[in-house]
Amino acid sequence: MVVRAPATSANLGPGFDCAAVALDLWNELEVTDGEGVEVVGEGAGELPAEETNLAVRAFALLADPSGKRFRFFNRIPLERGLGSSAAAIALGLAAAAPGAKAEELLAAGRTLESHADNLAAALVGGMTLTWEGRIARIADALPLSPVALVPRERTSTEASRRSLPSTVPHGDAAANACPQDHAEDDALAVACAVGGFRQRKAIGVVGDTDGTLQGFGDVDVEGLAVEPGRVRVLHQTARR
């Protein structure tokens, strides 16, 4: 069995812990009879190559991993805000219960991922809203071509959340929801609500993702990006 799950970006606009979108940047899991865990690509030599691997733990929530070999092909950078943990959980859940409904998988995955927005988008694709265990897919894709700037430094979700203020001024919250001086920003939400570019289902077959764009300045531009709907991944490098 082979399953694939996409990178995701969450906390879109005012949709904190609610709104997210799946990106055309994918991790892959191959499950066969056998033993062991192998990680290729992002996280190789770093992520656990045994039963404590996050995706294997997710698999174990719904099926017995004994007698199974797990081989991961990872393209999503770790701890860079692109939902690598959510993708890992989605892979494990989908491989364990391929016929389950997305909201059933979400409920199981919440034991490993406390923030459901990234996981919901990884499970169903497109742009999603999630609340109280429910998932609403409101658009197939964004009406734009995303660009992901991957910094040298890593930041965990926990560390990022610790840096947030406990409250925000009413004016700031209102401006984030509907910025009067930037009405074009609201067009994104409107466009997503009425439809966007075609996008593949989150868990499914994806085409070739190899390819390289030329670097410029102190940023290397790597794979996955030239057609509309595909994400451009820009890796920050040391200045010369």
Give 173-186 as a DSSP string: HHHHHS-TT-HHHH
Tokens matching residue 123? 């499970």
Higher pLDDT: 13 or 31? It is 31
Cα 233 off chain centre by: 13
Alpha carbons 53 and 62: distance in angstroms, whole number: 15
Q: How many residues does the chain have?
A: 240
Ranges assigned E (strand) in 123-195: 127-131, 134-139, 147-150
Q: Can you give the pLDDT at residue 164? A: 76
pLDDT band for position 237 (cuts 50, 70, 90): low
For 137, residues 6+ apart whose C-beta sits below 8 A from its C-beta are: 124, 125, 126, 127, 128
CA–CA distance, 86 with 118 (Å, rounded to integer): 6
Give 125-164 pLDDT, tens digit per residue: 988 999 999 999 988 867 777 887 787 777 776 777 777 7
Mean pLDDT of the chain: 77
What percent of the chain has a predicted confidence (pLDDT) above 90?
47
* 168 vs 88, higher pLDDT: 88
Just give the CATH number of 2-144+197-201: 3.30.230.10
Quick one: pLDDT band at residue 198, thresholds 50, 70, 90? very low
Cα separation, 27 vs 3, in Å, equals 9
* pLDDT at position 232: 60
Euclidean distance between CA atoms 169 and 15, whole angstroms:
16
Supply the pLDDT for residue 235.
Answer: 61
DSSP state of 132: T
